[in-house]
Amino acid sequence: DQWPRMVVVTAAKVRPWALIPLAVIVVLDQLTKWLVVENLEPATAYPVIGDFARLYLIRNSGAAFSMGEDATIIFSIIQIIAVVVCVVLAFRVRNPWAIASVAMIGGGAAGNLIDRIFRYPGSLQGHVVDFVSIGNFAIFNVADSAITIGVVVYLVYALFIEPKQLKQQENEQQEVQGA
């Protein structure tokens, strides 16, 4: 038995927990975009909470805050990479914080990528449907919200929770070695 034992990964052992919420985010994003496109007139404000929160349908060829409107293909390529990375990570992550981050970032990227592929003018140059308008802030959608919240969740975990957990584990190891 000097040979290293091989670990066989079976379908029963692989549980891509992040794929389920990722898919839910994509469906929710596309459903809300479909409802908005079918029921709202473009560039018309529909107040939800006075003038502060409103639905306002626009088509965005750029990224956040409509920046980079001439770089739609570049944004599409970045979104393809993000989706692929998140799907791969979905098979590896086990921590609830990581699952949430991967699902939200991947789901948001996939939702906007679908717009880039299938909405006018198509071929990775499609315009993303944005419709949530809060105050004087940018107009955004469910996918944008998911990406933003996913990044915040990841940063909170990476900057605050994980270092605290690692320090606690280190202290416990030192106590065991000292005893």
The model's pTM is: 0.85
pLDDT, position 10: 52
Strands 53-60 and 128-134: antiparallel
Catalytic residue of the set 1, 29, 70, 144: 144
pLDDT, position 174: 87
Mean pLDDT of 96-101: 94
Distance of CA 154 to the CA centre of its chain: 11
Residue 127 — very low, low, confident or very high, per pLDDT cuts 50/70/90? Answer: very high
Is 144 one of the catalytic residues? Answer: yes
Is 130 one of the catalytic residues? Answer: yes
Collapsed DSSP state (helix, strand, coil) of residue 124: coil
pLDDT of 35 above 60: yes
Helix, strand and coil content of the chain, in percent to the nearest 5, comes to 60, 10, 30
